[in-house]
Structure 1
Amino acid sequence: MGGDRIFVVVGAGLAGAKAVETLRAEGFDGRLVLLGEEDRRPYERPSLSKEFLRGAAASWVHPAGFYADNDIELRVGERVAALDRENREVVLVTGERIPFDRLLLATGATARPLAVPGANRPNVHYLRTMADAEALRSAMDGAERIAVIGGGWIGTEVAASVRRLGRSVSLVERRNSPLQTVLGVRMGEVFRDLHAENGVDMHMGVTVTEIVDDGVRTDHGLVEADLVVVGAGVRPRVELARAAGLSIEDGIVVNEYLETSSPGIYAAGDVATVRHPLLGRKVRVEHWANALGQGPMAARNMLGHHEVHAEVPFFFSDQYDLGMEFRGVARPSDELVVRGDVAAREFIAFWLSGGRVMAAMNVNVWDAGELLDTLIAQRAEVSGDLLRSASLPSLVRSLAL
């Protein structure tokens, strides 16, 4: 299948790596090129803020010999300068042109820079790539006081890793609790208390104004630190797509088959904005499971399948003794319903809109994952009282009738 056709994948992260794996598994025998800017083969990012930062080995997507064994041209350290849609070519910064019959953009996202004076100091680190994690891991060896700016997932996971290494860490966040924009005030307070109980010096509700020699200056005073980690979120890498004239809305806009506004060009992973049939709106999901699912789906659709993207978004995090899984997409205006013991950090939180479950988070509860996926996918109306008290298996069965 494929013959003399050429498929090119730009972006050698999880989505791109799983896409080329799927293309070969599905029988594509044409030329297959995987282009990556980093100087190493595809790896998985979740461990960078957790185990890898604490000294564990890297988590590679495939063994070193996988690409050669499957006749995949993995070209690392290659940067794409432009997409020539008219001639169906990818243009590298070296001037080399690679023709394509089908193209997948899996360019991912990049760390959002902090726009304050002193943000470019050598002791300021970001965490997006393995090289970032290696540099941060090395810098931590000589640091006594570490400040983490940003209370999102990266910031809270880095803070937890630093504390597990026995280091002093301060968490600086402009809202009153970490993760407030994702989980809302009440669930954000769960993570605020978790970090405080584990010895993190919490600076909530403050604005960073400058990074100076001895730390982070805020509108509430100085947070002393000799090493600063910025976790201010990410932004999708849409520059190639925008310059090529593809439709952009936050990320690269794709249809339900992950195809962009230009036929034969697809996008997947952190960079793709897709209208989700379960959520009823366009979303761009930046998590590992999204890349894991969309890469193979895009690959099969490049081969002529018509698979619709309808997976429930999924994310997980482990911080200290708290393990959680989050499904769906919540909004601040959604109704929050909680079952279980929040104080003991063993509960399930639900986010409802119009009586329908839009998202759910299970915290230290490990037998509910598939049921929660089904509950979100059913889009049936359900009361908060039932979510708090009813048996989940019985509830899911009754809603399916």
Structure 2
Amino acid sequence: MMNKIVIVGAGLAGATAAQTLRAEGFDGTITLVGAEKHYPYIRPPLSKGFLAGREDEQSLLPYTPGDYVDKQIELLLGESVESIDPAAGLVTLAGGGVLEYGQLLLTTGASPRTLPVPGATLPGVDCLRTLEDSKRLRASLSRSGDHGPRRVVLVGTGWIGMEVAATARTLGAEVTVLGREKVPLEAVIGPELGTVFMQRHEEAGVSFRTETTVAGITEANGRAAGVITDTGQELPADLVVAAVGVIPNTALAEAAGLTIENGILTDQSMRTSDPNIFAAGDVANAYHPITGRHQRSEHWANAINSGKVAAKAMLGQTAVLDNIPYFYTDQFDLGMEYSGYASLARNAKLVLRGDPSSRKFIAFWVTPVSSTKGRVVAGMNVNVWDVQDDIKSLITNAHAVHTQQLSDPATPLSDL
């Protein structure tokens, strides 16, 4: 039984872990169980290129179907797990089957939050998490309403919400975005930089209702017909999209007695409170040796990195999740890459290289060590390319840099 590894969750983290196990020489049985019927896929295009119709389903696959056959990875797709018995080393499937394991990896991901208001379950109220969600939204956005272009109300001003808003507007929909924040993305990049994205959306015709919450969804002919705000305003809608965050899928782990704290708590090698069970991807709240705290990341780069670390650790190798978190976005003609530690950036000083109003700049979040120097803990490049390696080097090196040089475009980042 010790030569059997079961991975619960056939997303990017689980698929990466399975492929890594083989690449690192594991010759035992690998079984990858996934509730969806699709082969493991990447999620970022679901709100961008795939939703817009520019990318096809095949382009979403990090590994081809043949890769699983060649590596002798057994895929059980469209199959849910009913329970885990850590003492016996057994996984019971909802269909009645039982899998033995010597080591278990949980990559169960997360589920979208729903709107806690009347009318939230009406047809025409949707979310975006899975490939099927994106297909359904794309089909809906491609149709015209009785009055003309589809009227879309997007609830949520985070990255997913803003990406869906941009894509929907590009497809010709009338888009209104609602959010609690004064400025979209304020919680993650601050009001000054959030305004850059907001203004670009407004130029494209997107409307915003900020510092606003949803009080209810109205109905007409059995479908959502509009959104009532907390001020009593009604916004007509053919489609309401909720992008208000996700909840880690921890039910299986909790029932199995694992420690749960904003996800499945793990050490820096993705090991849970049970020495034979690991967790990776969106569901794992892993200890990060750089920040000195646990942090759960919902970005695709973390799925890849944590999947690799978990696989190596399961084989007894020394493996630590110490990668710098990374993500990107595309909204209209705004392209952005972000690397760094959001938890450290919240209390850091913002240093800009270039003018944000030009929509071509680099932003650094710096922890001051003196009146003129600081350590870079995060960096974001907007429509400036081929600088990520330099940004990551500044974060990794953790040495104090002159903030004046950091802000000066004439000073090469590689010289700092």
Partner of 1:399: none
Mapping of residues 201-350 of structure 1, within 5 Å = 201-213=207-219, 214-220=225-231, 221-330=233-342, 331-350=345-364
Runs of 4+ in 1 over 6 A off after TM superposition: none
Q: Is 1:36 the counterpart of 2:47 in the alignment? A: no
Partner of 1:93: 94
Mapping of residues 159-238 of structure 1, within 5 Å = 159-213=165-219, 214-220=225-231, 221-238=233-250
Report the AA paired with residue 317 of structure 1: T
Q: Is the 8 A contact 1:4 1:31 kept in 2?
A: no
Partner of 1:398: none
Report the AA paired with residue 157 of structure 1: E
What is the Cα deviation at residue 286 of structure 1?
0.6
Partner of 2:51: 53
Q: Is the 8 A contact 1:160 1:195 kept in 2?
A: yes
What are the superposed Cα offsets for residues 53-73 of structure 1, whole Å, 9 maximum, x if unpaired?
A: 112312112212222222111
What is the Cα deviation at residue 280 of structure 1?
2.7
Supply the RMSD in Å over aligned alpha carbons: 1.5
Q: Is 1:370 the counterpart of 2:369 in the alignment? A: no
For residues 383 and 261 of structure 1, the distance between their equivalents in structure 2, rounded to whole angstroms, comes to: 43
What is the Cα deviation at residue 317 of structure 1?
0.6
Q: Is the 8 A contact 2:141 2:171 kept in 1?
A: no
- How high is the TM-score relative to the length of structure 1? 0.95
For residues 83 and 340 of structure 2, the distance between their equivalents in structure 1, rounded to whole angstroms, comes to: 34
For residues 120 and 236 of structure 2, the distance between their equivalents in structure 1, rounded to whole angstroms, comes to: 15
What is the Cα deviation at residue 85 of structure 1?
0.6
What are the superposed Cα offsets for residues 275-319 of structure 1, whole Å, 9 maximum, x if unpaired?
A: 212223221111011111111221111111011111000001111
Report the AA paired with residue 340 of structure 1: G
Partner of 1:392: 413
Give the secondary-structure state (helix, strand or coil) at the position aligned to 1:148: strand
For residues 346 and 66 of structure 2, the distance between their equivalents in structure 1, rounded to whole angstroms, comes to: 46
Number of aligned positions between the proteins: 393
Report the AA paired with residue 312 of structure 2: R
What are the superposed Cα offsets for residues 163-211 of structure 1, whole Å, 9 maximum, x if unpaired?
A: 1112211111111111111111111111111111111011112111111
Partner of 1:382: 401
Report the AA paired with residue 80 of structure 1: V
For structure 2, which runs of at least 5 residues remain unmatched after alignment?
220-224, 369-373
Give the secondary-structure state (helix, strand or coil) at the position aligned to 2:357: coil
For residues 367 and 302 of structure 2, the distance between their equivalents in structure 1, rounded to whole angstroms, comes to: 23
For residues 33 and 80 of structure 1, the distance between their equivalents in structure 2, rounded to whole angstroms, comes to: 12
Q: Is the 8 A contact 1:278 1:377 kept in 2?
A: no
Q: Is the 8 A contact 2:2 2:103 kept in 1?
A: no
What is the Cα deviation at residue 97 of structure 1?
1.7
Report the AA paired with residue 66 of structure 2: G
What are the superposed Cα offsets for residues 8-47 of structure 1, whole Å, 9 maximum, x if unpaired?
A: 1111000101111111122211111000000111111111
Report the AA paired with residue 385 of structure 1: Q
Structure 1 window deviating more from structure 2 (213-222 vs 300-309): it is: 213-222
